[in-house]
C-alpha cells in the first residue's frame, strides 16, 4: 500500500500546522511607508530590483486602516479557505521604519479576533530593541506570537553593494541575534540566482542560516521589473540571468544544506507578467517547482541530508 508522498522539504503549510494545529492564513497589511534605502537615510533609489510598490502585490488599499484591511480580507478568506486563525503580515517596504508611537498603534490595531501572530517585515538595518520592546508588550497583552521577516537577498557583501542594498552582512547578523534575544521567530528572504552569486555562495548561505538557527526561509527567483535600475541594466545587456537548470541546481543544494527544522515559505518568486522584463524564464512557477521536486526525487535527496558541518565535524572521531 502506498503511503502519503514523502515531504522532501519542510513546507510552510506543515510548519503552520505544527505550530497551530489548524489552518492558519497569512493576510497582508499594507501601510503607506517608504524605506530608508529609498529616502536617502542609508541609500537613494532603493535596491536596484525594487519597484515602486515595495514587495507586495496582493495587498489591500493602504488608505484603509489596519483593522479595516484585516477585516476585509478575513471576510473573503474565511469563506474561501475556511480558516479561522490568521497571521497579520506587515509586508510592504520597511515596517519598522516609522515613529515608535505609530508602530505601536498599528501593531495593536492588528490584534483583532482570530489573529494569532503578527509578522513584521523589515530590513536588517532597521531592527532596533525599542520596536521589539513594543512587540514584546503587545505579544503579552494580546497573546499573539511575533515573527520578523528580514530581507537579505544575498549573503555576499559584494553582491549587496552591487544591488545597492544599503547594508552589509554584519547588520544582518546583528538583526538576527537581536530577534533571537527576544524569542521571536525569524524568517529570511533570499534571491538565489542573483548573477553575482555562484553556486558556492548559495551553499555557504544555507550553512550560515542553519548555523544561525533561523526559523523560516523564503526563496525568490530573480524577476526583473520594468522601470528599475536593474531593469535598465538588463536591457543594456550589462548582465544575464543564468538558466532555469542552474537555478534548480542551486535550490536543490540549498535545501540539502539547510537544517530540516527550518521551514521554506516558498521556493521561487512571482510577479505580474506585464510589470516584468524577466520572470521565471517565461515558465509557470509550478513547472519550475516540479523540476525542483523531480531533481530531489531523482537524487533521493531530502532537506538537511548534507548538514554534516555543525558541532565540530573535525573532532567527531574523538568523541
Ligand atoms: S529594502 Fe525592500 S523596500 Fe527597500 S529598497 Fe530594498 S527592496 Fe525596496
Domain 12-318 has CATH 3.20.20.70: yes
How crowded is residue 284: how many other Cβ atoms within 10 Å of its Cβ? Answer: 10
Q: Does 135 or 76 have the greater pLDDT score?
A: 135
CA distance 289 to 267: 7
> Distance of alpha carbon 96 from its chain centroid, rounded?
16
- The pLDDT > 90 percentage for the chain reads 86
CA distance 293 to 183: 33
* Whether the CB of 47 sits within 6 Å of ligand 1: yes
Average pLDDT score over residue span 43-70:
80
φ/ψ of 318, rounded to 5, equals: -90, -5
Write the Ramachandran bin of 269: left for phi over 0, alpha for psi from -120 to 50, otherwise beta.
beta
- Report the residue among 33, 40, 45, 47 best suited for mutation to probe ligand 1: largest number of ligand atoms under 8 A from its CB: 47
Per-residue confidence (pLDDT) for residue 45, from 0 to 100: 84
Per-residue confidence (pLDDT) for residue 246, from 0 to 100: 98
* Whether the CB of 234 sits within 6 Å of ligand 1: no
CA distance 149 to 178: 13
φ/ψ of 207, rounded to 5, equals: -65, -40
Give me the sheet containing 145-153, strands edge to edge: 24-29, 85-90, 115-122, 145-153, 185-191, 216-220, 263-266
* pTM score: 0.95
Q: Which atom of ligand 1 lies at the shortest distance from residue 165's CA? A: 6
Per-residue confidence (pLDDT) for residue 267, from 0 to 100: 97
Query: By alpha-carbon position, which residue is closest to atom 4 of ligand 1?
Result: 35
Per-residue confidence (pLDDT) for residue 63, from 0 to 100: 85
pLDDT digits (tens, 9 = 90+) for 43-55: 888 999 998 655 5
Highest mean pLDDT among 71-75, 132-136, 269-273: 132-136
Per-residue confidence (pLDDT) for residue 48, from 0 to 100: 96
pLDDT bracket for residue 2 (50, 70, 90): very low
CA distance 152 to 34: 17
Is the confidence at residue 81, as pLDDT, over 80? yes
Distance, CA 300 to ligand 1 centroid (Å)? 37
What Å distances lie between residue 311 and 88, 104, 210, CA to CA? Answer: 36, 40, 12
pLDDT bracket for residue 1 (50, 70, 90): very low
Q: Which atom of ligand 1 lies at the shortest distance from residue 34's CA? A: 3
Per-residue confidence (pLDDT) for residue 171, from 0 to 100: 97
CA distance 313 to 309: 6
* Whether the CB of 176 sits within 6 Å of ligand 1: no
Per-residue confidence (pLDDT) for residue 4, from 0 to 100: 61
Least confident of 30-44, 225-239, 248-262: 30-44
Q: Which atom of ligand 1 lies at the shortest distance from residue 153's CA? A: 7
Provide the 3-class DSSP secondary structure of residue 199. Answer: helix
Per domain, the residue ranges of the chain are 12-318
Percentage helix, strand, coil for the chain under 3-state DSSP, each rounded to 5:
40, 15, 40
Is the confidence at residue 58, as pLDDT, over 60? no
CA distance 116 to 267: 25
Mean pLDDT for the chain overall: 94
Distance, CA 151 to ligand 1 centroid (Å)? 8
> Distance of alpha carbon 19 from its chain centroid, rounded?
18
Q: Are the CB atoms for 127 and 150 separated by under 8 Å?
A: yes
Per-residue confidence (pLDDT) for residue 60, from 0 to 100: 74
pLDDT digits (tens, 9 = 90+) for 169-220: 999 999 999 999 999 999 999 999 999 999 999 999 999 999 999 999 999 9
Cβ neighbors of 187 (< 8 A, separation 6 or more) are 119, 147, 148, 149, 150, 214, 215, 216, 217, 218, 265
pLDDT digits (tens, 9 = 90+) for 8-50: 999 999 999 999 999 999 999 999 988 999 998 988 889 999 9
Q: Are the CB atoms for 224 and 231 separated by under 8 Å?
A: yes
Amino acid at each position: 500500500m502506498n503511503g502519503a508522498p514523502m515531504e522532501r522539504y519542510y513546507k510552510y503549510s506543515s510548519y503552520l500546522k505544527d505550530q497551530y494545529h489548524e489552518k492558519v492564513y497569512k493576510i497582508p497589511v499594507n501601510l503607506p511607508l517608504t524605506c530608508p534605502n529609498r529616502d536617502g537615510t542609508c541609500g537613494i533609489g532603493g535596491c536596484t530590483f525594487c519597484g515602486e510598490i515595495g514587495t507586495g502585490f496582493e495587498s489591500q488599499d493602504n488608505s484603509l486602516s489596519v483593522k479595516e484591511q484585516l477585516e476585509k480580507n478575513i471576510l473573503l478568506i474565511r469563506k474561501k479557505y475556511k480558516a479561522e486563525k490568521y497571521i497579520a503580515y506587515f509586508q510592504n517596504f520597511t515596517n519598522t521604519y516609522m515613529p515608535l508611537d505609530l508602530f505601536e498603534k498599528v501593531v495593536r490595531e492588528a490584534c483583532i479576533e482570530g489573529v494569532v501572530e503578527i509578522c513584521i517585515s523589515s530590513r536588517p538595518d532597521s531592527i532596533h530593541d525599542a520596536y521589539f520592546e513594543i512587540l514584546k508588550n503587545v505579544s503579552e497583552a494580546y497573546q499573539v506570537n511575533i515573527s520578523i521577516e528580514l530581507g537579505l537577498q544575498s549573503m555576499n557583501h559584494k553582491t549587496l553593494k552591487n544591488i545597492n542594498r544599503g547594508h552589509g552582512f554584519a547588520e544582518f547578523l546583528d538583526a538576527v541575534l537581536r530577534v533571537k534575544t527576544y524569542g521571536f521567530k525569524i524568517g529570511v528572504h533570499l534571491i538565489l540566482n542573483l548573477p553575482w552569486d555562484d553556486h558556492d555562495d548559495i551553499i555557504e548561505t544555507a550553512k550560515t542560516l542553519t548555523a544561525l538557527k533561523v526559523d523560516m526561509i523564503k526563496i525568490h527567483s530573480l524577476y526583473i521589473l520594468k522601470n528599475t535600475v536593474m531593469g535598465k541594466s538588463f536591457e543594456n545587456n550589462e548582465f544575464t540571468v543564468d538558466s532555469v537548470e542552474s537555478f534548480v541546481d542551486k535550490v536543490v543544494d540549498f535545501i540539502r544544506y539547510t537544517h530540516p527544522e527550518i521551514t521554506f515559505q516558498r521556493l521561487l518568486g512571482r510577479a505580474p507578467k506585464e510589470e516584468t522584463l524577466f520572470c521565471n524564464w517565461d515558465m509557470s512557477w509550478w513547472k519550475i517547482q516540479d523540476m525542483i521536486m523531480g531533481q530531489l526525487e531523482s537524487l533521493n535527496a531530502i532537506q538537511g541530508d548534507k548538514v554534516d558541518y555543525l558541532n565540530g565535524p573535525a573532532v567527531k572521531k574523538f568523541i
